[in-house]
Structure 1
């Protein structure tokens, strides 16, 4: 690594050059890599499989009627695209410059604008968009590079990152407050290390890797605490609220909402006399609720309010419990990943789910894969339109008009609402919040560069609405949103404290049934007058052979009869996204009880009786999308839902088809993944799902089919997948091409074949050994009831040699 004189010499050499000629960038990049102790670039060849970067990498853009070629200023496959500010216009006009001479070059240099002006911002934005187009072009061969670097030679390097490997959108890295590196920053060891890592091991900079590790460690401590408190006979509700107050206090001290380290120090001072902890903690939380002097910390604290500290009571602690709290507090809470923290906290607080803590959760990448096409893509389309208009206005000197456009977009962004009608512990809502905050960072940066001050409004938790049946999950979801929001506040604004009260009770997460409401209900009794019960839909136990989590049939809850059942009314939202519960139509009565299922069909008379439970969410979201009115700003612009992959089968397609085929006001599927790995958060088991995104109108969509899957090192982090993509009209079977779902039987073929045995459930299937043991092939009577079972899978793949048990054939 370079020494101080070398760094000073480099900065002095380049700081005031202005980067006036495009030819300078190659020398600048070479000397920068030498300063960082990296290899020089490779000679330009047609092979990008080497481990070094190169200049002027050609890319081909496919347009509707022609193909054009561009050149990336500097490129390393699987690492970065580097584009210079000067390169955007000068590469297009090299021939013109040669023909027109020095005068033309001087004029074009003036056109780039003085640094920090609207013209300069406009050129940097064009370079960013150019780099994004280059990344899209090379992705077909090399995959999406994780970094874009936009360089104004000798002045600044802007960093943008996307670690998804799917092209889900490059965002300021690490955030909107620190994405620009200026020459003087190169004196800092951490900045030089960052640039070296982008050149050598960029994916190690993915913040979710460290965050997931920290979060799992914390959750393990919480599980032990929950178990210990319950062993003392405390109610789970009391334990949950106490731990949530503790956890937020740990987070608050790590982001300076209360004095740094003060909560951990308080816990350490209580070692040896834990009997004082209950009084000390209750006093602290009472002060945090009201914004008063906290005697435990010997200082006045901010007013937090909200619902979290309204009841400031604490639990008595013993030495073990105090020690576990201290271990949890010593973690870096700024690193906690809210996208998985909610699930782990929910399980830590529920003894019935604690056995699967940390083993299975829905990976953040999976959630982002649906949130991006549902919410972020349309918002970024709007933002690109604004950027284009701003570029034209600034070129004409109309900076005030440009600023008004950006302000209006920001105001609209801060009122855009997202609903998850099965929000669980808030994973989807948090990811939507975080991605919208990233977009907001770009918007506010442009506002400030156009001469505005820090905006008074911001994207915050009031925009993210949830409905959740489990009361603890609903409480956790609210906590997760606030932690995520405050993390982004400090990443963006540094030490600037948010306005008080820090927490606000927006009542945006509703504890309710998302599909059914009723006036009253009463327990159902059997013919002997005993209560009818079903599985409690939460408690599971491992299968003795496979180890998969299955419903624990000994955990029961009563079946109710419902009076005046009706469909739940969802709050209005611009976008709907989520992961409704997976219960197949055949299991509805067993899992939910006869009374609930009968009430559900009464409330939704048009729903086919064969539909899975998740399809009730799809139906409601579809109706909300079909009422969308862009001019009035009413209805749902897009919705995206996770369903089981049986969505493609006839009994569930009956829900989609009336919406997709309506002649006057149809829906279109904009995005679909027909078959994707997932983690069932109820059972913690691996399942296969479909993703669908839909909106109003006749539109073309994209189907992403999985080309390959690879297990991650940590099982809970899911699988890395690659996709093959096709564009066109998506039909209800989630396919593009001929609409096979509209095919009808040929009359000429009627009566030629019969579907034969149709077994319902695994109990009717036996393998060949069992069939032989039961007398198949040796006892004529047995052959009447045991028959070979062959379906399409057995014909197209390897036969499973299955047999089916059936009734005696009719004579």
Structure 2
């Protein structure tokens, strides 16, 4: 089953809200239907996730829903106050652990009365909910419940203000388009001027520039018969790049030295009265509520492409960003934080965290970097709290002068200069917002140096030393490379990477694994060709060959954008000191042994045998015992039945020759093995032990399980013997399929 994107979840939740907004019945009548449909909106089958209704605990009674180790839900009838659930919440949570089975207490607790939600994290924040919102607000707060999609994804509790952000971005976009249409200045100057305006509007509402100098200047200009914006705004922007106090009087008295290269050039563009009106309306928004990542993504659609004149319609949802940030950054660090046992150990880990660098080599407007920075500031706060708690436990004085995570640790590369400017402004805005959320950090003014985010072709320049790599490389298909990039560039790609012409994202995967050091992690989004056919051999197979161990992967999901591409997501660690015991495919965990493989090889799994294997590959031995041409059988079999049979070690019937006539080599192999060309003829019990890459387990278009056999030369290599992969329990293809 393809993983749902954030946009798809949001749309399904809108339908969910439409159905349930008028419900006024009892709790008992519809609570289970309500929760089943809520799980389904996140693309999750409740029973497959292990969530149980009416789970009994001796002194606490029956929990309305319990997903062991993950979630408790306490439902109330519409109109009942959520505060009435407080005592039940507490008792249920206290009794939700099971030491004998090594199941911890549920991390999350939801109180809900059909029209309101409270999300609690009692183990860390026992005295107040992480967030509270109404049913109508659920689509905007969908990422607060991301644990319904997978317990491995961190929920996001920030206020997104998506509609407000989009409205603010529209006014700025209209202003820029108006200037561009009349050719008010060179494109580079207009782009820089627009970002100067955006940062100043934000800084005024956050109290970084006292007295609202920009807003006052615009209002004064609109009162004049012949306003000269280039003169007055030019003066303001020069003051923001001035270290001394000269000329800081009147409405400019609250200005300060900003620098950060943002105002190194004060590009004061002359604006018409209509453009000043756009700017005035933009200044009336509460910019404290604007989401920098959404704003930057939307605005990039205007500033980043001269051929477009409309505001961008798409942005990357944080639910999708967290599918990389959680396994590559948050989860490994949180595990290390929880493993500390002394204050000195935690303090040393804090120093290590504060030196941790993150690189996005295709950073665009900086939304991946913003989310990474926000989560690292959150980890810093957790670790500081642990330092203090452990010191108090051991009777030590409360530590002082603890370091903070520096903004300058964010690194990025993008080929578009305007995207780099947007990314820098996005992070400067985030820097100020995180101080409100997590406490003090380095001063916000002068602006912190973000020269580590630079404009360049990431494939042609050296990447900086870093500790983790994340990002979303361009989705340009191999068939479009010459028309978009030109013959010379495509020939250079072919010579530089020596894998021929592939989808553009493939080259980022290769460069990332080559750049990494042992123990470092990476997570990238790619077109789903990286898990298929020849593009896989140049990307994921190459990652594995260089020592990469995939820890989390999404086989296929839609990605928001005009291209409507389907993507695959891969997170890996390079040459770990000990191989992870589990991996997560499409948010489901599986052990790396045969039992985990059987659980992962669900019915409707598309299983591709790989031509070559490597000793370090995170491979799953899957046993496929019989072939049967009757595809109707698979349509009748339910998914749960197939999983149960696989887990019990039964033979799996897989898609046979009747449905693979397109693949003549495969058909010929089947015919040779059974000595007949009859479509429905049963094949004797021929054992196939095939090594399966985690991303090779996905859903076929018809729900049929199928296997592509190895070419003859590779079967001979396997039969020649002596590979390390056999130690994992896999065996070569049966000799009866020898070409």
Offset of 1:256 from its aligned partner? 0.5
**Contact 1:275–1:316 (CA under 8 A) maintained in structure 2:** no
The residue matched to 1:297 in structure 2 has which SS? helix
Equivalent residue, structure 1, for 2:530: 647
Does 2:485 match 1:592?
Answer: yes
Q: Which residue of 2 aligns with 1:118?
A: none
Would the aligned equivalents of 1:85 and 1:150 in 2 still touch at CA under 8 Å?
A: no
The CA distance in 2 between the partners of 1:647 and 1:659, in whole Å, is 11
Q: Residue 638 of structure 1 contacts residue 693 of structure 1 at CA under 8 Å; is this kept in 2?
A: yes
Q: 1:489 aligns with which of 412, 416, 435?
A: 435
**Match in the other structure for 1:457:** 403
**Alpha-carbon distance between aligned partners in 2 of 1:221 and 1:70, rounded to the nearest angstrom:** 43
- Cα distance per residue 1:762-807 (max 9 Å; x no partner): xxxxxxxxxxxxxxxxxxxxxxxxxxxxxx979979xxxxxxxxxx
TM-score, normalisation: structure 1:
0.58
Question: Is residue 510 from structure 1 mapped to residue 454 from structure 2 by the alignment?
Answer: yes
Distance of aligned partners of 1:580 and 1:308 in 2 relative to their CA distance in 1, 3 Å threshold: same
Structure 1 residue 362 corresponds to structure 2 residue 316: yes
Give 1:617's aligned residue: 508
- Per-residue CA deviations over 1:153-184 (Å, capped at 9, x if unaligned) read 9x94363783324356798996xxxxxxxxxx
Residue aligning to 1:239: 190
Answer yes or no: is the 8 Å Cα contact 1:267–1:322 preserved in 2: yes
Give the aligned partner of residue 653 of structure 2: none
| Offset, 1:619 | 0.9
CA contact (8 A) 1:56 1:72 kept: no
Residue 282 of structure 2 corresponds to which residue in structure 1? 328
Which residue in 2 is equivalent to 1:573? 466
The yes-or-no answer on 1:226 pairing with 2:226 is no
Match for residue 120 of structure 2 among 131, 142, 148: 148
| Distance 1:503-1:169 versus aligned 2 partners, 3 A rule | farther
1:602 aligns with 2:573: no
Cα gap change, 1:168/1:244 in structure 2, threshold over 3 Å: closer, same or farther?
Answer: farther
SS of the counterpart of 2:495? helix
Map 1:386-397; keep pairs closer than 5 Å: 386=340, 389=341
How many residues align structurally? 538
Q: Distance in 2 between matches of 1:696 and 1:151?
A: 32
Q: Provide the secondary structure at the position in 1 that maps to 2:447.
A: coil
- Of 419, 441, 450, which residue of structure 2 is paired with 1:473? 419
1:429-487 CA-to-partner distances (Å, cap 9, x unmatched) read: 11111222222232334445656467453223211111101111111111111111111
Shift of 1:299: 1.9
Contact 2:260 / 2:447 at 8 angstroms: preserved in 1? yes
Shift of 1:92: 10
- The 3 A distance-change label for structure 1 pair 76 and 303 is farther
Residues 294-309 of structure 1 aligned to structure 2 (within 5 Å): 294-295=248-249, 297-309=251-263
What does 1:85-164 align with in structure 2 at a 5 Å threshold? 130-132=105-107, 147-150=119-122, 156-157=127-128, 159=130, 162-164=144-146
Whether the 8 Å contact between 2:551 and 2:572 is mirrored in structure 1 is yes
- CA-to-partner distance for each residue in 1:364-393, whole Å, 9 max, x for gaps? 22222222222211111112212xx2xxxx
Q: Please list the CA deviations of residues 556-576 of structure 1 after superposition, one character each: whole Å capped at 9, or x if unmatched.
A: xxxxxxxxxxxx321122111
Matching of residues 169-568 of structure 1 within 5 Å: 207-208=159-160, 210=161, 212-233=162-183, 234-259=185-210, 261-273=212-224, 275-293=227-245, 294-295=248-249, 297-350=251-304, 352=306, 354-386=308-340, 389=341, 402-447=342-387, 450=392, 452=398, 455=401, 457-493=403-439, 499=443, 501-516=445-460, 568=461
Superimposed CA distance per residue, residues 332-358 of structure 1 (whole angstroms, 9 cap, x where no aligned partner): 111111222222222232463544524
Consecutive unaligned residues of structure 1, counting only runs of 5 or more, are 1-38, 63-67, 95-128, 175-205, 390-401, 517-567, 631-636, 706-722, 758-791, 798-811
Give the CA deviation at 1:689: 0.7
What is the CA distance between 1:679 and its match in structure 2? 2.3
1:657 to 1:256, Cα distance in 2 relative to 1, 3 A: closer
Q: Which has the larger radius of gyration?
A: 1
- Is the 1:53–1:77 contact (alpha carbons within 8 Å) kept by the matching residues of 2? no
Greater RCO structure (CA 8 Å; 6+ sep) = 2
In structure 2, relative to structure 1, the CA distance for the partners of 1:308 and 1:464 (3 Å cut) is same
- Residue in structure 1 matched with residue 565 of structure 2 by the alignment: 687
* Cα-Cα RMSD: 4.6
